[in-house]
Amino acid sequence: MSDILLEMKNIQKFFPGVHALDNANIEVRYGEVHALVGENGAGKSTLMKVLNGIYKKDGGQIIYKGEEIELSSPLDAQKRGIGMIHQELNLMPHLTVAENIFIGKEPMAGGVFLDQKKANQAAKELLTSMHLDIEPTRRIKTLTVAKQQMVEIAKALNNNSELFVMDEPTSPLTDTEIEELFRFIRSLRAAGRGIIYISHRLEELWRISDRITVMRDGQYVGTVNTAEVNRQDIISMMVGRVIYEEPKQKSCVSADAPVVLEAKDLVAPNVKNVSFQLRQGEILGFAGLVGAGRTETMRALFGADPRVKGEIFVNGQKVEIHSPSDAVKHGIGYLSEDRKTFGVATGLSVRDNCVMADLPNYRKGPLMNDKMIDAVTTDYIQKISIKTPSLRQLVRNLSGGNQQKIVIAKWLIKRCNVLIFDEPTRGIDVGAKSEIYKLMNKLIEEGKSIIMISSEMPELLRMSDRIVVMSEGAITGELDICNATQTNIMTFATMNM
């Protein structure tokens, strides 16, 4: 018997005007965690949608368990034992764990009614076999994201899946939850299941994968044994060039640079008397573990959440900020960690998103001045290298990195001089990260100032001039970049207040 579970050979996929997959390949063995990586737009998701029956391939072969197959729908893939755990989980939050696991395969009493007792018992047995302490009667909406992911996997196991596709499974998880997920992935591997693991977090690959397949521009680049390559090897395969990720050696900001923003004794939910200064031309990093209060601090400063007390100064003048519109009037822009909810309107065009925060300045009587809007949008597309086929392209069709650039363009068009970047590169690939970093440095050269919240240590050490560390809602330390290391950042981040 062959040890190969899946082969996708020379897969082709065309969309109008786009050759999305051009001879794409992947091979997965039984009992293997196989990482699939590439920049945004490399074709990873398209290839997996072909495997899951969402898209019909336009050429090539899918050989599963030694048999060439055609997949017509996700249900067809599911029946063949292919389980997909999407980045956005496909569970029904108002239903119980058991009801989600058995949806479409509900045990019935008398052939008419749902046998709830039988469903709960069967779900309990399945969860116990997975070493999961989850009550089958719990509503999905009451579970952590990590537990919800485990329920998705249980659902796939109930469908007798032998191949699991996991798309960015750790992006919303804490370190503890990631360890829990990895433990379970290893148990699936030990049971002979195959796992395709998609992730932008390259450091994870050496902890969980056996082999790595790299894609670029819809094409297969190569497959390597994880133990035989390093991070730079993979990055070079992904982007076709060397990207250096050296930490910043010293601050680029002088000690007497003017203070453009100051917070004094901010108090808000999960924010305890936080005070800091931001200087002109500075990138001020904010570090801390999940729940440290970094996002809550910035939302309170920006007026997105109410604050109990505290003072805010812009260019030395005390200002009143009680809403985001107040903050924007004082030249402060906020790039949320959840750009699809708070940053861009994905159903609108590039041009509409770019001028969204500054619409009154583009009116021509009762109408919008389309000529002005097109001109300013074109200008910023060129200035910050937004890759889009047209001004009227829907933002949902752009990569994560280009969506992030559109949020930046929105605040630059609004003439904001202070930019708060909350997890600026979350969910985007190394090539797009490099472009965002270059853009941030360009903004600093132009005299802007940036506050950057990041959970990625290399990112903080590469970009920051100073790093403020928070724990349990309070500032526990501040480090000039020349004194900052991962060790002393973590020391401050784990302090109990």
Q: Are residues 204 and 61 in the same domain?
A: yes
Per-residue confidence band for 487, with pLDDT thresholds at 50, 70 and 90: confident
- Enumerate residues 6+ apart whose C-beta is below 8 A from 29: 3, 4, 5, 194
Structural domain boundaries enclosing 336? 259-493
- Predicted confidence (pLDDT) per residue in 218-248, tens digit: 899 999 999 999 988 888 888 776 555 566 7
Domain count, the chain: 2
Which of 3 and 339 is assigned the larger pLDDT?
3
Does residue 459 form part of some domain? yes
Q: Are residues 11 and 111 in the same domain?
A: yes
Average pLDDT of the chain is 86
Does pLDDT of 115 surpass 70? yes
pLDDT of 172 reads 67
Q: Are residues 217 and 271 in the same domain?
A: no
Per-residue confidence band for 307, with pLDDT thresholds at 50, 70 and 90: very high
Which of 248 and 186 is assigned the larger pLDDT?
186
pLDDT of 13 reads 93
Other CB atoms within a 10 A radius of the CB of residue 129 amount to 10
Rounded to whole angstroms, the Cα distance separating 159 from 74 reads 12
Does pLDDT of 105 surpass 90? no
pTM of the model: 0.60
Q: Is 2 exposed, middle or buried (0-12, 13-18, 19+ CB in 10 A)?
A: exposed
Q: Are residues 444 and 368 in the same domain?
A: yes
Cα-based torsion angle of the residue sequence 388, 394, 399, 404 in order, rounded to the nearest 10 degrees? 90
Does residue 252 form part of some domain? no
Rounded to whole angstroms, the Cα distance separating 154 from 166 reads 13
Whether 387 and 399 have beta carbons less than 8 Å apart is answered as: yes
pLDDT of 401 reads 74
Which CATH number characterizes residue 284's domain? 3.40.50.300
- Enumerate residues 6+ apart whose C-beta is below 8 A from 19: 12, 13, 218
- Predicted confidence (pLDDT) per residue in 435-476, tens digit: 788 888 888 988 999 999 998 888 899 999 999 999 889 999
Q: Are residues 223 and 268 in the same domain?
A: no
Does residue 361 form part of some domain? yes
Does residue 178 form part of some domain? yes
Residue at a domain's end among 205, 239, 273: 239
3-state secondary structure 131-200: CCCCCCCCEHHHCCHHHHHHHHHHHHHHCCCCEEEEECCCCCCCHHHHHHHHHHHHHHHHCCCEEEEECC
Q: Are residues 131 and 267 in the same domain?
A: no
Q: Are residues 185 and 267 in the same domain?
A: no
| Residue (of 177, 102, 184, 183) closest to 143 by Cα position | 177
What share of the chain in percent tops pLDDT 70?
A: 93
Least confident of 167-176, 311-320, 337-346, 475-484: 337-346
Q: Are residues 201 and 282 in the same domain?
A: no
Structure tokens at 475: 């500032």
Does pLDDT of 370 surpass 90? no
Q: Are residues 281 and 409 in the same domain?
A: yes
